[in-house]
Structure 1
Amino acid sequence: MADALVSTLLEKLATMAYEYVEDEVKLVLNVKKEVEEFAGNLKAIQAVLEDAEQRQMKEANVHHWLDNLKEISYQMVDVLDEWNTDILRQQIEKQEREGATHLAPQKKVCFSIFARCFGLGRVGKVISRHEIAHKIKDLNGELAEIYKQRQMYNFQLTEKAIQKQQTSSFVDISEIFGREKEKDSLIRKLVSDTSKEGRGLLIIPIVGMGGMGKTTLAQLAYNDAKVKAHFQKRIWVCVSEPFDEIKIAKAISGDASSSSNELDHVLEYMSRSIEGVKFLLVLDDVWTEDGKKWNQLKFSLMQNGAKGSRILVTTRKQNVANMMKATSHVINLVELSEENCLSIFNHMVFSYREVGESEVFEDISREIVKKCKGLPLVAKTLGSMMRNKSTRSEWVEVLNSKIWDWEEVEQEVFQPLFLSYYDLDRRNKCCLLYCAIFPKDYEFNRDELINLWMILRNTLTLVQ
């Protein structure tokens, strides 16, 4: 929430008009300098906000620091609104005066000037501007203190807050449960030669939220015997962010050690490596919606690969599938059944324990698995946590605990999910965080929530 508010405020500061309409009235108390200092401190604070927002859940002092920052930001938004309102009023008054000059007699103009110079209206406007300037000066001082305090918490810069894990094509099939239908459907798409797209380069996106098993499904298909026999060449590339065309092209060609960073040279080498070859290319964890970046790779792949080549893409974002123009072949992953989650959980816990031990904890296992909500990553993580717990009292303690506060869950489950949150624009972040006003297990109406979100988004737009 703080990041969204700060971003909005910085945009407002960047478009701020510094001089008033009337030439004789310039800036009061060097406001321009104060605003520039405020914006500079705010930008420095913005760089560490992601780390701060993650840590506020466990550190009360960080939460208090963020609250102070938000309060100052809200106040500055109000002051800037006063500033813009004053400028707008002056513009209207000037237009009215200029219109009156052409219509009114000369004597009335002289009287009007006299009244403006010495009347109460004039004094009122000057006081208003002084008040605005003083408010900005005071808020700048308060923000400077917030800026100094950030050093106490040793915040990490935004780009280091969450590291995206690299993936590979290797998979332990013994740990996979469910997804049989999705796997069969995907393999049929990969080995079928009925594509009518171009020269037969079929793009198949697997779309689903974090922790749903997109990469696992791609790994299962990539290592299937039919798939191995069908393609002359198989290539696995972990894309993530940023989408680096040169790095991806080098990975496809197997020329990662090349010193050349000229895109044309790298694409030419990649094209030669797949020329006339029926290939399967897996692009795992794609985030970019930039069609220009994607098309430069796509055209080279289409023009050189043999008919029947396939590109398998895993992504959390439907917009990626839309950008790739591959919506007719999308595989949307939904939650696993509770039974499949239970199988994953039991495998992680009891694989190396005595036969029949799972039956002793069967009732508690099912209750814990309900907390997985159909996410295989959560079932796997919770199962790993329970491996070393051998007594019923330990299991009951976990079941009754705030399981999401456990460090293992935070690292393995929440951090991957946070990636989707940080990828949202600031308005959508605010909409998501707005759900925090509802109490736990509250059942809200879908249309009601959408209407509330619309009001919130409109409010954020007006703030700009």
Structure 2
Amino acid sequence: MADALVSVVLGQLCSIIYEQANQEVKLVVGVEDEIENLRRNLEAIQAVLKDAEKRKMKEDGVRIWLDELKDVSYDMDDVLDKWVTAIFSIKLHKEEISGAVLENGSSGKKKVRFSVHLPRFQFSKLISQLGLRREIARTIGNLNVRLNNIRVRKETFNFSIASSSVDEPNRPNSTSMVDIPKVYGQDELKEVLVSRLLSGSSLDESDHLEIIPIVGMGGIGKTTLAKQVFNDDKVKAHFGDERIWVCVSHPFDEVKIANSIIEQVDGKVPSIFGLETLMQVFLGSIKDKKYLLVLDDVWTDDYLTWGPLEQ
């Protein structure tokens, strides 16, 4: 139980650290260092949790130590959720929904980027952003003191350290099937996306590739929103059978992605393996067709990684 809870909080911390660095948004000076300390303390504690879980039934001190760790972890989960809200609140002041930007791709095709930044809550309801940021900073500082005490006390139990780091959990593949009847609070964003897909572009359609990223923290409904758009009746009528859904996930595997695309286009598993050959088959299958390709659960925007597929 404690191990799973700590893993969740660590995942949140890593996601927030990445998002803050990537989006260049700040809360309060010094909080970044506090967050980094939280991460290091949690990782040090996580290394001994397997042994602690085994011993808690026979040792009251270990059981109490684990209970305190759980309490701190739950409190951390709450404050990190507030931080996610604050980060996107800051971003929304800078941009609502960015417009289309035309650029030339390396393959010679024109690309139209139309980004949708998906907020988590209605941030206009926050009365005082600055007050919230300071509250978060104070809470994180207090949590660090509590967690540091827990880390220091673990040394008194002489726990065995796990021989290897905790395995990264396998992420379930997403599908295009909609598993809930309605996405509350996202109707407006859905209509924006549907309208964009149906309107196309003033450019010659054979000469451009339109890209519409949906970006945001994990767990805020990006995949659900994409499913709603993908299964919209107007989108189905517009693209027909040329709608493809691929779960990219982690680690990135361009050959696996290409295979999945071709399997959905041709209705059968490809018998070839090279990426270049696979992409030639794909291009032949969609020649002179209008198609919608959804790449879900994307973890990297590194051009060197995506370059071969883009071309």
Query: What's the TM-score bracket when you normalise by the shorter of the two chains?
Result: 0.3 to 0.5
* TM-score, with length taken from structure 1: 0.32
Relative to its length, the structure with more helix (as a share) is 1
